[in-house]
A and B are shown apart, each in its own frame.
Chain A
Amino acid sequence: MNHNQPVETDNDPQNELVTLNLGPTHPATHGVFQNVIQLDGERIVSGISTIGYIHRAFEKIAEHRPFYQITPLTDRLNYCSSPINNMGWHMTVEKLLNIQTPKRVDYLRVIIMELARISDHIICNTIIAQDTGATTTFLYLFQFREHIYEIYEEICGARLTTNIGRIGGFERDFNEIAFAKINKFLKEFPVALQEFESLLNRNRIFIDRTAKVAEVSAEKALDYGWTGPLLRSAGVDYDVRVSDPYSSYEDFDFEVPVGTSGDIYDRYLVRNEEMWQSIRLIEQALEKIKHEPAGIFHADVPEFYLPAKEEVYNNMEALIYHFKIVMGEIDAPKAEVYHSVEGGNGELGFYLINDGGRTPYRLHFRRPSFINYQMFAPMSKGMLLSDAIINMSSMNIIAGELDA
Chain B
Amino acid sequence: MADITNQELTALLTERFGDKISGVNEPYGLLTFETTKDVVITVLEFLKQNSLANFNFLTDITAVHYPGRKHGIAVVYHLHSMVKRIRVRVKVFIDEHHPEIPTATTLWNSANWMERETYDLFGVKFEGHPDLRRILNMDELGVHPMLKQYPLEDPNRVDKKDEYFGR
Contact = CB atoms under 8 A, between A and B. Distances in A.
Q: Do A and B come from one complex?
A: yes
Interface in A50-76: 51-52, 55, 57, 59-61, 63-64
Contacts of B112: 374
Contacts of A338: 28, 30, 78, 87, 89
Given A57-B145, A335-B28, A328 B166 contact: yes
Contacts of B138: 52
A59 B121 contact: yes
Given A64-B167, A225-B58, A366-B59, A337 B121 contact: no
Contacts of B167: 64, 358-359
Interface residues of A, number: 42
Nearest to A403: B136
B62 interface: yes
A225 B108 contact: yes
A351 B135 CA distance: 20
A224 interface: yes
Nearest to A243: B85
Given A60-B145, A358-B167, A370-B113, 18 more contacts: A51-B136, A61-B152, A222-B82, A223-B110, A225-B59, A225-B114, A335-B28, A336-B27, A337-B27, A338-B78, A349-B60, A351-B76, A353-B64, A362-B64, A366-B60, A371-B110, A371-B114, A373-B113
Main secondary structure of the interface of A (DSSP, over half): mixed
13 contacts: A51-B135, A52-B136, A60-B145, A64-B152, A96-B28, A225-B58, A243-B85, A328-B166, A338-B30, A338-B89, A358-B166, A362-B64, A366-B59
Interface string A230-266: 0000001010000100000000000000000000000
Contact of A95 (B28, B85, B108, B146): B28
Nearest to B120: A52
B46 interface: no
Contact of B60 (A59, A224, A335, A351): A351
A364 interface: yes
B42 to A, nearest CB: 19
A98 B149 CA distance: 32
B69 to A, nearest CB: 13
A352 to B, nearest CB: 10
B136 A337 contact: no
Contacts of A403: 136
Interface string B76-106: 1010001001010100000000000000000
B135 A52 contact: yes
B108 A223 contact: yes
Contacts of A336: 27, 32
B56 interface: yes
A139 interface: no
Nearest to A355: B66
Query: Which one of B58, B62, B110 has the greatest number of beta carbons of chain A within 10 Å?
Result: B110
Contacts of A328: 166
A293 to B, nearest CB: 29
Interface string A199-228: 000000000000000000000001111000
B33 interface: no
A347 interface: yes
B137 interface: yes
Interface string B120-140: 010000000000001111100
B7 interface: no
Contacts of B85: 243
A55 B30 CA distance: 30
Interface string A329-350: 0000001111010000001010
B59 A349 contact: yes
A327 interface: yes
Contact of A225 (B28, B110, B166): B110
B83 to A, nearest CB: 10
Contacts of B152: 60-61, 63-64
A55 B24 CA distance: 35
Contacts of B51: none
